[in-house]
Amino acid sequence: MRVVRTVEQLREAISFMRHTGQGAVGLVPTMGYLHDGHASLLRRAGEMCGTVVLSIFVNPIQFGPNEDYEAYPRDERRDLELAEREGADIVFIPSVEVMYPRPIRTKIAVSSLTTRLCGASRPGHFDGVTTVVAKLFNMVQPEYAFFGLKDAQQVAVLRQMVDDLNMNVEIIPCPIVRERDGLALSSRNVYLSAEERRQALVLSRSLQEARKAVEEGRAATTDEVRELLTSIISSSPLADIDYAEILTFPALEPLEGNLPLNRAEGEIIMALAVRFGRTRLIDNIIFTPKEVAALV
C-alpha cells in the first residue's frame, strides 16, 4: 500500500498501476476515522477493481460555520491500519493547502435534489461535497466510485452530477452497515454519550416499524408514515427531529396521498435526521421497485 499526500504523487502512483495492467481504478472517498462501513466500501471496490484508491480528507467547504469541522474525529494511524487490512493500494491524504491552494472560486451546485432533507438544514453543504468529489474524480480518473447509502441523498446528488456533466465514472452505491443492535455506523457515533447511544437506536427501530406498517397496510397514506416515524422517534426524550420524510428515490420528490404510491417512479425512501445532544445522525430505508410493486 502506498500513501501519497500531493496530487503529483497521486497521479504518478495511479499511472504506474495503469501502466502495469492492474485493471480498473476504483475510488473510495472518505473523511477518515474509518469504520466497518468504510471497510465494506473498500472490499466492494476490491471485488470490482484492480486498483483501489482511498482518499482521506476532512473537507472544510462542506461544513457550515457552526458545524463540527474542527472537532471532526481524526486518527490517521488507525485509518491506515484499516486501509491496509482491507486491501487499499493507494491512500491519498492531502492537506487543505493541497486541495485548495488558493481561495476556491469555482463550485459545482446540483439544484433541486439539494433543497430537501439534509440540504434544507445544511445550506451549502452539498455544494462542498460535489466540488470536492469532482476534484477527486479529476485527480484520480476512476472508472468506479463507491459511496455508502447511509447518506442516500449524497448518492443521489453525485449520480446527478455525474450524469449532467458526462463524467466518465460510475457511482456504486453500497448498503448501510449497522451495529448488531441496528445503529447505522457513522464516524460521528463517537460523539454520543452512553445514554444518547442507547436512545439513538430509535432511528432504525422507527424505520423498521414504519416499513412493517406500510407492508401490512396499517399506514395507508404518506402522512400516516410521517406521523408514525415522528411518534416513535419522539418517544426518546433526547431525540430532536430534523426531518422524517418519505420521498421518491433518487429524484427525492415529495410523495403525497394514498399508498401504495403508484405514481412513484423507481424506488421510495424513508429518510431521517435526528439530533441527540450535539450529534446529528441520519438513517434511511429504501424500497426497491419490486418492493414498491408488492405494496399494490
Nearest to 252 by CA among 110, 64, 61, 41: 110
Question: What is the Cα–Cα distance from 126 to 119, expressed in whole angstroms?
Answer: 7
26 assigned ligand-binding residue: no
136 assigned ligand-binding residue: no
Beta strands at 279-287 and 267-276: parallel, antiparallel or unpaired? antiparallel
187 assigned ligand-binding residue: yes
Residues 6+ apart with CB under 8 A from 2: 13, 89, 90, 91
34 assigned ligand-binding residue: yes
- Out of 14, 17, 25, 38, pick the active-site residue: 38
141 assigned ligand-binding residue: no
Question: What is the Cα–Cα distance from 11 to 14, expressed in whole angstroms?
Answer: 5
41 assigned ligand-binding residue: no
**What Cα–Cα distance (Å) separates residue 149 from each residue in 27, 146, 178?**
16, 10, 12
17 assigned ligand-binding residue: no
What is the dihedral sign for C-alpha 293, 223, 251, 203? negative
95 assigned ligand-binding residue: no
The question of whether 38 is a catalytic residue gets the answer yes
165 assigned ligand-binding residue: no
Question: What is the Cα–Cα distance from 281 to 277, expressed in whole angstroms?
Answer: 10
Q: What is the dihedral of CA 71, 61, 51, 18, to 10 degrees?
A: -140
148 assigned ligand-binding residue: yes
151 assigned ligand-binding residue: yes
Residue with cell string 500531493: 6
| Residues annotated in a binding site for (R)-pantoate | 62, 154
Q: Annotated catalytic sites, by residue?
A: 38
| Residues annotated in a binding site | 31-38, 62, 148-151, 154, 177, 185-188
| Residues annotated in a binding site for beta-alanine | 62
| Residues annotated in a binding site for ATP | 31-38, 148-151, 177, 185-188
